[in-house]
Amino acid sequence: MTGVESQTREAAVGKASSRKRATKAGGTRDHTVPQMYLKHFAQHVASRKYELNVRRLDKIDEPFPVTPPGIAAETGYYWGISAEGVPHHAVEELFTSLEGQAETVLKVLLNDPDWAFTPRWPLSPDQRHVLAWWMAAQILRTTRQRKRLTHQQAEAPDITSLPQGVHTLAQNNSHLRYIVENIATLALRLEARPWALGFSDMCLLTSDTPVAIWNRPDDEDQLRAAAMSDILLPLDPHRFLFLPSPATRGTDRHKHVDHLMHAEGATGFALVEVAYDVADQFVIHHPQHDPWKHWKPNSPSQPKPWEGQTHSAPQYILKYAAFPPSLNIERRWTVEHPPPRSPDTAHA
């Protein structure tokens, strides 16, 4: 076989492979929120079976059970087209790699057998680096982020004439390109900020937008928003990461470095409100840790211009004291709730 014949054969194989990938492209079930993250809000009901409660925003008072693989999934969401016109799943592969590394760090934060706050806090530089990249991915990958980008595109290219399978891939490209162009810078900005590991007396929820950028969730400049805003990431029904903004840190030297935080009383309710307000389509909570037992939405959420919403955006200001690093909270309070107070003790 001559060299030309060999190259021709390789090219033919390459085209066949591309056609095969194009057939598969768009047919995968891609998760917009990591399953490994959702498991932290799930009840372990059987061997390898975990169950969440989900509330859709348009039917908020009708919770229903679901497993982590069964929610926050979109068909073909992370498929794109390379410069050579070849379908690829590279962004999904990146996220899978980040999730594997981040899962190890999340176990450090959440799996201490005795304490709610891991004695291994603050995290090591390597662990912070891993988690910062993973958090950056959660900010950039969401359905809310894609809708924001699509809405802000003044003149999107006309792709209506493309075949349906290619149409879907090309439609995803601007979002995928945005992720690739911004994830490294965003991760560095998150990594450079002080972090608070927090415990909330109030049961927490998460959503299809797990990282809440306070007051600026849909800012056109997401890098600036992430640098200037408070940032909340619920970790499980009672623990969270909070990155205080420059304004929230103020002159309190304890907040200019990694610290601990105890969200008591109204502060815990505020965290639930913020997490709820940035959800795109649904919120998620543990079956045994239901915020609706004590809380209900009582104000408009962050507006969604792509749905024609024009109401004023809610604004949040949080004041808190850093939790003394010499103290801790027993692990059992991450799964147990204090019994209701009797009328006789309620006013004691």
**pTM to 2 decimals?**
0.88
Predicted confidence at residue 278, as pLDDT, reads 98
**pLDDT 10s digits, 299-344:** 899 999 999 999 999 999 999 999 999 999 999 999 999 876 654 4
pLDDT of residue 6: 43
Burial zone of 258 (CB within 10 Å; 0-12 exposed, 13-18 middle, 19+ buried): middle
Question: Buried (b) or exposed (e) across 306-341, using 16+ Cβ within 10 A?
Answer: eeeeeeeeeebebebebbeeeebbebeebeeeeeee
CB 196 within 8 A of CB 235: no
Task: Give pLDDT tens digits for 117-126.
Answer: 999 999 999 9
pLDDT band at 156 (very low <50, low <70, confident <90, very high): low
pLDDT confidence of residue 340 = 65
Locate tokens 């958090």: which residue? 135
Position 35 confidence tier, pLDDT thresholds 50, 70, 90: very high
Closest CA to 156 of 292, 271, 306: 306
Q: What per-residue confidence (pLDDT) applies to 155?
A: 53
State how far the Cα of 259 lies from the Cα of 197, in Å rounded to an integer. Answer: 7
Instruction: Take residue 188 and report the two structure tokens written for it.
Output: 């560095």
DSSP string for residues in 210-241: -SEETT-TT-S-HHHHHHHS-EEEE-SSSEEE
Q: Which residue has the higher pLDDT, 166 or 155?
A: 166
In this prediction, residue 37 carries a pLDDT of 98
